[in-house]
């Protein structure tokens, strides 16, 4: 197995001959050979080869060859010699996504900008394209992909199934549909690495980490589908708890429940765009309110010990650790945003009045000079948590968004793990660069998974 870089040229000849510069022939151990196997994504063809006297690594592909295997474009790309006269160009990387609202300029709706940035970054490192589930032809094993030209506009091209798929399908609902489930399984059956697998449910992640001693100590005590007795017990034990839908997001349906032995029970939540705080004399009336608002769907709720988060001006702060796997297959926190809750809000989501800041800004008020130490510790924990999630999860993961709380003693807790994290933290001017770093990790990890990256260093 050897990896090199070469310049691909398109020629107009109709024959099926590939011309390789002598140095490239040598590197790919093809000197003296009359034919080779040319691979792109999951497709392989056999073609005649001839040497051409030229310095450097050059490969000339005739129109005849390109009719049988659609190499997306001329220019620099990696070449992997997989042995036995087989040469692979690529990698061919597909970003799977979709959108309900779309136009020819924005085929992926609000995600188009993100996808463009990612594809642009990969320009000289891979054949990078985006596609939707509708663009796959399983019979012919082809994808009608969206490619980006140097001017930044889209063009379509039919290519073989890719070497690796980065999954950014947007909706939780769509993902559980049978068609998407079978789509994922088809990729796996064809041995095409597919990450990330799907959205997580909160209770699934808690269950995943339950037996993992190292990770479990950073999870607030959590119980899925708790009985009223259990809710009462946790309230008395911790004085405050979070009660949240296991498949929820964006703070929807979340309650912060508090218990004061003398004053009774309190429920704080968001109702039609504003924050409400209700008091109940007894536990029964609190439960009656929750049941009247949610009925049977409370069976899909999780109760969780409340963590006393660091605060600024009495507003709690939590953190988004945007984790990536690198080109060496190791987890790193690529970006960290701090989010301050809006006044009276149960969560820190921006749409509920929260505001974004850097972790340094957020921690300095509480920890002063010790902030760096606290943040370094939280980074270590975020890596440990990601490794533990991955270890206990049956599918491939390459990216995670961890919602992390730091309490007033500097102890670190995870509230939830998002398998397809949003990118809103990267809108903060001080975090833009981390946003770019995050994109480059996606690319590097794709190179790693497709084996287009040396694994020995």
Binding site for ligand ADP (CB under 6 A): 220, 242, 244, 248-251, 254, 304-307, 309, 318, 347-348, 403, 405, 415-416
Number of residues counted as binding Mg ion (CB under 5 A): 2
DSSP character string of 121-167: HTTTTSEEEEE-GGGEETTTTEEEEEEE-TTS-EEEEEEEPPSEEEE
What character string, x for contact with Mg ion (CB under 5 A) and - otherwise, covers 36-55?
--------------------
Out of ligand ADP, Mg ion, none, which partner does residue 220 contact, by CB within 5 to 8 A per kind? ligand ADP
Tell me the torsion sign for CA atoms 72, 74, 79, 82: positive
Out of Mg ion, ligand ADP, none, which partner does residue 306 contact, by CB within 5 to 8 A per kind? ligand ADP
Between 306 and 435, CB nearer to ligand ADP: 306
Question: Whole-number minimum distance, CB 416 to Mg ion, in Å?
Answer: 5
Between 163 and 318, CB nearer to Mg ion: 318
Question: Whole-number minimum distance, CB 225 to ligand ADP, in Å?
Answer: 16
Question: Whole-number minimum distance, CB 332 to ligand ADP, in Å?
Answer: 21
Residue 94, Cβ neighbours under 10 Å: how many? 29
Between 21 and 222, CB nearer to ligand ADP: 222
Question: Whole-number minimum distance, CB 447 to ligand ADP, in Å?
Answer: 31
Between 40 and 254, CB nearer to ligand ADP: 254
Between 332 and 346, CB nearer to ligand ADP: 346
- Quote the radius of gyration of the chain (alpha carbons, Å): 26
| Rounded Cα distance, 420 and 121, in Å | 20
Triad 109, 110, 112: Cα angle to 5°: 70
Which of 325, 321, 352 is closest to 249 using CA atoms?
352
Between 112 and 305, CB nearer to ligand ADP: 305
Question: Whole-number minimum distance, CB 207 to Mg ion, in Å?
Answer: 18
Q: What are 234's two structure tokens?
A: 């946790």
Out of ligand ADP, Mg ion, none, which partner does residue 444 contact, by CB within 5 to 8 A per kind? none
Say if CB 326 and CB 444 are below 8 A apart: yes
Between 71 and 397, CB nearer to Mg ion: 397
Binding positions for Mg ion, 360-419, rule CB under 5 A: 403, 416
Question: Whole-number minimum distance, CB 254 to ligand ADP, in Å?
Answer: 6
Q: How many helices (H) and strands (E) does the chain have?
A: 12, 26
DSSP character string of 182-240: HHHHHHHHTT--EE---PPPHHHHHHHHHT-HHHHTTS--EEES--HHHHHHHHHHHSE
Which of 73, 89, 71 is closest to 81 using CA atoms?
89
Say if CB 280 and CB 286 are below 8 A apart: yes
Out of Mg ion, ligand ADP, none, which partner does residue 398 contact, by CB within 5 to 8 A per kind? none
Between 118 and 363, CB nearer to ligand ADP: 363
Question: Whole-number minimum distance, CB 3 to Mg ion, in Å?
Answer: 39
Question: Whole-number minimum distance, CB 241 to ligand ADP, in Å?
Answer: 7
Out of ligand ADP, Mg ion, none, which partner does residue 81 contact, by CB within 5 to 8 A per kind? none
Between 306 and 398, CB nearer to ligand ADP: 306
DSSP character string of 242-275: EEEETT--TTTT-EEEEEETTTEEEEEEEETTEE
SS3 70: coil
Question: Whole-number minimum distance, CB 222 to Mg ion, in Å?
Answer: 14
Say if CB 358 and CB 428 are below 8 A apart: yes
**314 conformational bin, left if phi > 0, alpha if psi -120 to 50, beta if neither:** left
Out of Mg ion, ligand ADP, none, which partner does residue 405 contact, by CB within 5 to 8 A per kind? ligand ADP
Between 86 and 204, CB nearer to Mg ion: 204
> In whole angstroms, how far apart are CA 259 and each of 275, 296, 308?
19, 24, 14
Out of Mg ion, ligand ADP, none, which partner does residue 307 contact, by CB within 5 to 8 A per kind? ligand ADP
Question: Whole-number minimum distance, CB 96 to ligand ADP, in Å?
Answer: 23
Task: Select the residue whose beta carbon is closest to Mg ion and give its number.
Answer: 403
Under rule CB under 5 A, residue 135 binds Mg ion: no
**141 conformational bin, left if phi > 0, alpha if psi -120 to 50, beta if neither:** left
Q: What are 82's two structure tokens?
A: 């997989």
Question: Whole-number minimum distance, CB 48 to ligand ADP, in Å?
Answer: 57
Out of Mg ion, ligand ADP, none, which partner does residue 304 contact, by CB within 5 to 8 A per kind? ligand ADP
Q: How many residues does the chain have?
A: 457
Between 193 and 251, CB nearer to ligand ADP: 251
Residue ranges in contact with Mg ion by CB under 5 A: 403, 416
């Amino acid at each position: 197995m050897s990896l090199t870089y070469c310049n691909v040229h398109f020629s107009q000849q109709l024959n099926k001959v590939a011309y390789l510069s002598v140095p490239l022939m040598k590197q790919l151990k093809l000197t003296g050979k009359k034919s080779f196997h040319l691979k792109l994504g999951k497709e392989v063809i056999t073609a005649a080869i001839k040497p051409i006297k030229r310095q450097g690594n050059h490969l000339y592909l005739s129109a005849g060859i390109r009719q049988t295997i659609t190499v997306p474009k001329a220019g620099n790309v990696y070449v992997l010699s997989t042995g036995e006269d087989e040469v692979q160009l690529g990698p061919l990387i597909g970003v799977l996504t979709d959108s309900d609202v779309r136009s020819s300029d924005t085929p992926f709706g609000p995600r188009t900008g993100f996808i463009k940035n990612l594809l642009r970054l990969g320009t000289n490192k891979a054949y990078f394209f985006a596609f939707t589930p509708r663009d796959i032809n399983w019979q012919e094993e082809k994808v009608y992909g969206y490619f980006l030209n140097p001017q930044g506009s889209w063009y379509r091209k039919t290519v073989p199934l890719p070497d690796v798929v980065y999954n950014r399908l947007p909706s939780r609902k769509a993902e559980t549909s049978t068609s998407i489930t079978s789509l994922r399984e088809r990729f796996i059956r064809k041995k095409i690495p597919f990450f990330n697998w799907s959205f997580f449910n909160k209770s699934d992640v808690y269950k995943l980490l339950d037996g993992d001693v190292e990770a479990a100590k950073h999870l607030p005590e959590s119980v899925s589908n708790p009985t009223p007795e259990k809710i009462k017990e946790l309230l008395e034990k911790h004085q405050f708890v979070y009660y949240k839908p296991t498949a929820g997001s964006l703070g929807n349906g979340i309650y912060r429940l508090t218990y004061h032995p003398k004053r009774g029970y309190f429920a704080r939540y968001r109702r039609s765009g504003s924050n409400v705080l209700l008091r109940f004399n007894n536990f029964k009336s609190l439960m009656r309110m929750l049941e009247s608002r949610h009925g049977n769907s409370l069976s899909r709720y999780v109760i969780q010990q409340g963590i006393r988060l660091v605060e600024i001006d009495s507003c709690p702060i939590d953190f988004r650790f945007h984790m990536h796997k690198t080109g060496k297959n190791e987890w790193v926190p690529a970006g960290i945003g701090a989010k301050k809750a809006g006044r009276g809000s149960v969560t820190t989501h921006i749409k509920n009045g929260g505001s974004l800041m850097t972790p340094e800004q957020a921690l300095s008020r509480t920890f002063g000079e010790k902030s760096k130490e606290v943040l370094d510790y939280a980074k270590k924990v975020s890596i440990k948590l990601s490794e533990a999630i991955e270890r206990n999860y049956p599918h491939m993961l390459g990216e995670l968004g961890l919602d992390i709380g730091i309490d007033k003693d500097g102890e670190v807790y995870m509230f939830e793990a998002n398998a397809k994290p949003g990118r809103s933290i990267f809108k903060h001017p001080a975090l833009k660069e981390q946003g770019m770093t995050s994109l480059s990790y996606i690319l590097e990890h794709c190179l790693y998974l497709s084996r287009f990256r040396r694994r020995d260093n």
